[in-house]
A and B are shown apart, each in its own frame.
Chain A
Amino acid sequence: MKFGRRAFLQFAAGAVGGTLLSPMPWRLADDTAIWSQNWSWRPSPERGPITTVPTVCTLCQGGCGIQARLVNGNRAIFLEGNPVHPVNAGGICPLGAAALQYLYAPYRIEQPMKQTRARGEAAGFQPISWSEALDDLVKRLARLKSEGTPGGVACITGSRWNSMDDLWARFFSAYGSPGLFKMPSHSDSLRATAKLALGKDSPLAFALENASYVLSFGAALVEGWGAPARMQAAFMRWQKNGAGKGAAKLVQVESRCSMSAAKADQWVPVVPGTEALLALGIAHVMVKENLYDADFVSRGVLGFEDWTDMQGKVRSGFKKIALSAAYAPDQVAARTGVDAAKIQGLAREFASTANAVAVWGGGQHNVPGNIYHEMSFFALNVLRGNLKSGGLVSLVPDVPFQPADDQTAASAEGGAPQVKLGSVPGTRVPLPGNGIYGFLDILTRGMIPPLEVLFVHDANPAYSLPENKIFKAALDKVGYVVSMSPYMDETAMTADLILPNHAAFEGFEDVVGLPGVPYAYYAVSRPILKPRKDTKHSGDVVLQLSKALGGNVAAALPWASYEEYLKNRVNALAASKRGAVADKKDIDLSRLQSSVSVSPNFKDGTDLWKKLTGGFCWYDVPVDVRSALDTDSGKIELAFRAIQGKGLNVEDDQVYLPHFKPLPPSGDEKEYPLLLLSYGMLSLSCENLANPPFMTKTLWDFVLKKNDLFVEVNPSTAGPLGMSEGSKAVLKTPQGEVAVRVHLSQAARPGAIYMPQGLGHTAYDEYIQGKGVNSNSVVEVQVDPITGMGTVWATRAQLRRA
């Protein structure tokens, strides 16, 4: 049979028709559709019941109430603010919202590690067991103690607003070493100021929620300023009236148009570093025009009028200094760049508006400031009468943990010759504050014997200590570095032994007080998950070491676990019968008055522990400054009377009073014609936690582009240097040289370079490593001669085309 054209067409039509009638094409189409949706290499999250667990965030010191969403009780998928918590009322900061990325970070350390090769070699880390690691450490510590050289052990910790702070202090007191140092913080300055003026060893606190006029000298208020969520809530309250008319006026004095400046009702641009001069200019106008609280100042302040020093010599008071020609509006205007009329206007407004408060600091790196400048800002609050009972400035209250008969504290002190923790041997500063820089300095220069053991806990000084090469240089004088970081950070990389701590939310933690906050606060953070790695809480490590060391150290730290220790503290807190638990919505802690005490709403320690681990916080009324005052004169002291007995006795009356005295940056002005300043953002983590990927995604492409960091420069500064937007440049300071790119911005003051903090990590993973430049590697630390604390205000710099 001939297969003709017609037969072929018939067959083809039949085949098409037949196929269409069969289920095959439909099955195929369906399969294709299913196949196209079935991307097996794409993760499919495991399903299960979703539960919510309340706890408290411990990533920073802000004390926010949060709740975690768990799948099947073993997988944390989301963190959100706890709506009943009085600090954040349901809100959360970006770090909190991204916090689970730390828990599940690939750069977490699996188990204890020992460096078997040269320090810093990543390949040299070998896993060891906990018992092996701790045995080795105990041997070293026991040997040093028995040889009578416990001073060979030191610790750098980032903990200051939790009970680890106290635990370390007990350990070091009992062990007999003074070498307990904290990472620098602006609260060191607020503490030093309070110590000087009020005689109290607690940081100053500001009732910002109740202010209706906030004069901020470079304080990074909306960028965090101590307790970020609390500041956001305060800012919300200032904006409350709506319709663009705030309930409070915010005036930001700063050289750069930061977020705080942009959000302020008035931005007062100044020459970098002259904020304190402007404060003194305002004080001048207030004193001259009699705009200060004369009644309060004459009755409660020493050193405003002329005063008599310890030798009976009459010295001029702050009134005379403030009225001197150097602080007259014309003089101040010439140096700060703010019009004389504007200075007068600010002074009058500050003096006449009800509930006006001056705040300062914490913008550039979280470091202490120059004590003369801190006291100048503080003086404005004194003139305004803000330290009266119920005033806007007071102290961060202590949390009453200590029962009257504390045996353990006694044995902690009794063990060794009295040591003052954190003191720097041979120091000559009159009023020593945080001594970390002094200590690292004398260690590097060989003025004290090399350290045998250095613990680094809750800190990453190799990265986040401003002028971080100071830490790196000191490491050469340390025999054995023990890192307690849960993450493979820059400091862990240089360690000899890593004893990984739990990540946040894996163990019991607590929050003791909130920085800058006038009410008393305590919260317990309960774990939301079992530890994911073979880690141990650093508190448990300290307790185990103490137990193994025996003797008075074991007696001073008798608790079986850190959890038990916390329970013990909560029992003591309950026994004090003070404060209450905020277990209802809409409790307004800012309305608390020192004169109206709150009645406890908990039965005993067990009940309080139950409430605290349920995500609620404990609070108590603010401190009454008047009754807390502990100075020799019984008054608020504007004159630094105390320094006279401490080896500083000079003729110049100014030395004893707040005045403008910038610490000169090093380097030749001709070689380094510009000033480098750094800035922080709430959306870029800059201390011991590396920025999580979620937050890195939100960075502007004019802050970070590929791996290049951009510095902000005013076009009028960049133009003559031959630079345009995105130009590659070399930034050189006396501390080092780095490659950057230039972002032209009118937010930048001409003559200054502004660099973001928080980039330039060399450790961690591909999501953070090698991105940008670490500002801590180029800034310079100037040591305050009165307190010995390292300050950072500006670094001389040079910018040239690359």
Chain B
Amino acid sequence: MAIDLDRCTGCMACSVACQAENNVSFRADESDKLRSITWLEVYHLQNGKEYPDYQFTYLPRPCMHCDSPHHSPCTFVCPVNATTRDEVSGIVNHIYPRCIGCRYCIVACPYHARDFNWWDPKWPKSMESMLSPEVSTRMRGVVEKCTFCHHRLLKARSKAYLDGIDPNEATYVPACAEACPTKAITFGNLLDPESEVAKLSKDPRAFRILAKLNTEPKVYYLSKHQWVHKLGDNSF
């Protein structure tokens, strides 16, 4: 995935579409950001200068689906194999019923991409009708995070199979990239050098956040501002 921060207008459509697509629960008070469950969280970065030299940008942060050798930080620490990386698709998944809620993965993730269900998710009765059957709702005591809309991949693979195409050739777009009104989010196969996303990852504006940790995140950001590149190496 590549996210062009110069194009991002901070409208939050990506984050909202993610919540709607993935049955992310919400509570009456969501202002405590340490307790709030957000798969695609948006960060506010600023250049630290005074008025009128001040500048800011938003940085949408899905799970990085780290590509570091053998393990992602989270999959390495999981004692019950609830979170694993699919070495074919590269997606780091999380199997809720397996999760024992130890939260080691939350501690291990340097991107704060994981959230814990401190409470049972609860929807207003009438809003239960808008839950998607394609993504299971979670339960109290488990960790959840962005799956790059893995269910869309499965759907695309099934469709490819039925259409007589090699399922490994199936392509799809996650909800956030689809929703973005400025097309700031590009999704594709980084391993295919001809893909749009692979080209963007080689762009001189491209950088990855916390690249110094060698977690090899699979999300690239693009920004023309050097101060944004610099902040990308700070802890989040």
Q: Which residues of A contact B (CB under 8 A)?
A: 33, 36-37, 39, 41-48, 50, 69, 71, 75-81, 88, 90-94, 96-98, 100-101, 103-106, 108, 222-223, 228-229, 232-233, 235-236, 239, 242-244, 257, 259, 262-263, 267, 269, 681-683, 693-701, 704-707, 714, 746-750, 765-767
Contact = CB atoms under 8 A, between A and B. Distances in A.
A239 B23 CA distance: 33
B180 A263 contact: no
Nearest to B132: A77
Given A746-B50, A766-B28, A236 B178 contact: no
Given A80-B179, A236-B7, A695 B52 contact: no
A704 B133 contact: no
B31 A704 contact: yes
Contacts, number: 209
B183 interface: yes
Contact of A97 (B13, B23, B204): B13
Interface stretch (B14-22, B61-69, B104-112, B208-216): B14-22
11 contacts: A42-B120, A47-B133, A75-B129, A77-B132, A77-B133, A92-B17, A97-B20, A105-B124, A244-B6, A694-B20, A749-B51
A232 B11 contact: yes
Q: DSSP class of B's interface residues: helix, strand, loop or mixed?
A: loop
Given A97-B17, A269-B51, A706 B29 contact: yes
B89 interface: no
A243 B132 contact: no
Contact of A80 (B7, B128, B178): B178
Interface stretch (B36-44, B71-79, B157-165, B187-195): B36-44
A104 B130 contact: yes
A42 B9 contact: no
Given A257-B55, A683-B12, A39 B179 contact: no
A698 B12 contact: yes
B146 to A, nearest CB: 15
A257 B10 CA distance: 14
Contacts of B120: 39, 41-42
B28 A767 contact: yes
Which of under 10, 10 to 19, 20 to 34, or 35 or more describes the interface residues of B? 35 or more
Contacts of A262: 55-57
B49 A244 contact: no
Given A696-B30, A698-B15, A91 B55 contact: no
Interface in B93-144: 97, 120-121, 123-134, 137-140
> Counting chain A CB atoms within 10 Å of each CB, which of B17, B46, B175, B183 scores highest?
B17
Given A77-B132, A91-B181, A235-B9, 15 more contacts: A37-B139, A45-B137, A48-B133, A91-B183, A104-B126, A105-B124, A222-B10, A233-B181, A236-B184, A257-B55, A259-B10, A699-B31, A700-B44, A701-B32, A747-B56
Contacts of B57: 262
A701 B31 contact: yes
Nearest to A705: B31
Contacts of A93: 11, 13, 181
Contacts of A701: 31-33
Contacts of A767: 26, 28, 124
Nearest to A270: B52
A222 B12 CA distance: 12
A459 B127 CA distance: 24
Nearest to B47: A746
Contacts of B30: 693, 696-697, 699
Contact of A747 (B23, B51, B203): B51
Interface string B169-184: 0000001001111111
B11 A693 contact: no
B180 A45 contact: no
Nearest to B135: A45
B205 interface: yes
Nearest to A244: B224
A45 to B, nearest CB: 4
A285 B199 CA distance: 45
Contacts of B128: 43, 45
B50 A239 contact: no
Contacts of A269: 51-52
Contacts of A714: 51
Contacts of A695: 12, 16
Contacts of A257: 51-52, 54-56
Contacts of A98: 16, 19-20
A320 B191 CA distance: 65
Contacts of B179: 80-81, 91-92, 97
Most buried by A among B23, B52, B56: B52
Contacts of A706: 29, 31
B16 A94 contact: yes
A244 B129 contact: no
Nearest to A36: B97
Given A42-B121, A97-B179, A697-B30, A267 B52 contact: yes
Contacts of A91: 13, 179-183
A416 to B, nearest CB: 44
Contacts of A80: 17, 175, 178-179
A39 B129 contact: no
Nearest to B7: A239
Nearest to A79: B20
B124 A106 contact: yes
Given A45-B133, A236-B7, A746-B49, A90 B29 contact: no
Nearest to B200: A242
Contacts of A50: 133-134
Contacts of B9: 222-223, 232, 235, 259, 263, 682
B171 to A, nearest CB: 14
B70 to A, nearest CB: 28
Question: Which of B11, B126, B130 has the largest number of chain A CB atoms within 10 A?
Answer: B11
A236 B97 CA distance: 42
Contacts of B137: 42-45
Nearest to B131: A45
Given A48-B133, A78-B132, A233-B181, A682 B56 contact: no
A701 B11 CA distance: 16
Contacts of A222: 9-11
Contacts of B13: 91-94, 96-97
- The interface centre, meaning the residue of B49, B133, B138, B178 with most chain A CB atoms within 10 A of its CB, is B133
